[in-house]
Amino acid sequence: MVKLIGKSKISCAVFISGRGTNLKSILKFSKKNTSKINIKLVISNRRNAHGLVFAKKNKINFKTISYKNIKKAEIQILKHLKKNKIKFIFLAGFMKILSKNFIKKFKNKIINIHPSLLPKYKGLNTYKRAINNREKFSGCTVHFVSEKLDSGKIILQKKVRIFKFDTAESLANRILLQENKLYPKAINKVLSKI
Ligand code: GAR
């Protein structure tokens, strides 16, 4: 196996809005010698996002960006991405929609994780909708971000069984465990082709 260190790794950013368990798992993965990524920047649209503790603990540069004005927010974000020479962006529970213009600038370089088996249940409240529709399975999907919400090319998916006793919360917790494993695998899959 090839060992990658320091500058030979690809500079990446993770965007978050909250808890940050996916950020945590991506950070852990990035530290492996065989991983091609170096997380250089964390962007949060919320100053009190819990996930920022993982950026702090790992001494990763982080920026909180106010989204009162989307245009201004994206201009600021682009400035930070340029400064840190970011090549890939991983959305990890980032609950803001990126503009078409922004997505064009990072074509096929933005990856997202979504808590459903896309193309089913795009958008919000995925767990409740799957349970209400009496689905036998839900799960999670890692996909490229395209201009249409939750519709970009799928990289990897993981199925999770829905049980009769499941609530939105219990299902969300089980899916999250799979998300945390799936995201690094999907990143690896994309970057192994580069
Ligand atoms: C995850 O379940 C992720 O799939 C979801 O937000 C959660 C973030 O958890 N993302 C979306 O719903 C995006 N549409 P985390 O902050 O612990 O990574």
- The CATH number covering residue 98 comes to 3.40.50.170
Specify whether 58 is located in the same domain as 98. Answer: yes
For the entire predicted model, the pTM comes to: 0.96
Single residue among 106, 136, 169 that ends a domain in this structure: 106
Ligand 1 pocket, residue 176 CB under 6 Å: yes
Residue-wise pLDDT tens digits, 115-169: 999 999 999 999 999 999 999 999 999 999 999 999 999 999 999 999 999 999 9
The stretch 90-97 carries a mean pLDDT of: 98
136 and 101 housed in the same domain: no
Give me ligand 1 centre to Cα 1, in Å.
32
User: Residue 194: pLDDT band by 50, 70, 90 thresholds?
Assistant: confident
Residue 92 CA to ligand 1 centre (angstroms): 6
Work out which ligand 1 atom sits closest to the CA atom of 123.
14
Nearest alpha carbon, ligand 1 atom 1: 93
Give the CA distances from residue 141 to residues 80, 105, 138, 160, in Å, rounded to whole numbers and listed in that order: 28, 23, 10, 11
Give the pLDDT of residue 163: 98
Q: In terms of domains, do 84 and 40 share one? A: yes
Report the residue count for the chain: 194
Give me the active site residues, please: 114
> Would you place residue 193 in the very low, low, confident or very high pLDDT band (cuts 50, 70, 90)?
confident
- 10, 91: one domain: yes
Cα 20 to averaged position of ligand 1 atoms, centre (Å):
8
Q: In this structure, are 127 and 93 located in the same domain?
A: no
Residues forming beta bridges with residue 61, ordered by sequence position:
41
Could you tell me if the CB of 179 is within 6 A of ligand 1?
yes
DSSP helix/strand/coil, 169 = helix
Indicate whether 4 and 92 sit together in one domain: yes
Decide which of 78, 106, 134 is a domain's last residue: 106
Q: In the prediction, which pLDDT does 6 show?
A: 56
Q: Do 99 and 193 belong to one domain?
A: no
Same domain, 74 and 128: no
Q: Are residues 15 and 86 part of one domain?
A: yes
Non-local CB neighbours of 30 within 8 Å, separated by 6+ positions? 9, 12, 37, 38, 39
Host H or E run for residue 15: strand 10-16
Indicate the top mutation candidate among 19, 27, 160, 173 to test ligand 1's pocket, ranked by most ligand atoms within 8 A of CB.
Answer: 19
- For ligand 1, what atom is nearest to the CA of residue 49? 16
Q: Are residues 169 and 125 in the same domain?
A: yes
Token digits for 82? 């340029």
Q: What pLDDT is attached to residue 5?
A: 56
Give the confidence band of 8 by pLDDT, cuts at 50, 70, 90: confident
Mutating to test ligand 1, I would choose from 17, 94, 114, 146 the residue with most ligand atoms within 8 A of its C-beta, which is 114
Specify whether 141 is located in the same domain as 187. Answer: yes
The structural domain count of the chain equals 2
Tokens of 47: 């100053």
Q: pLDDT tens across 15-61, in order?
A: 999 999 999 999 999 999 999 999 999 999 999 999 999 999 999 99
Domain that holds residue 61: 1-106
56 and 120 inside one domain: no
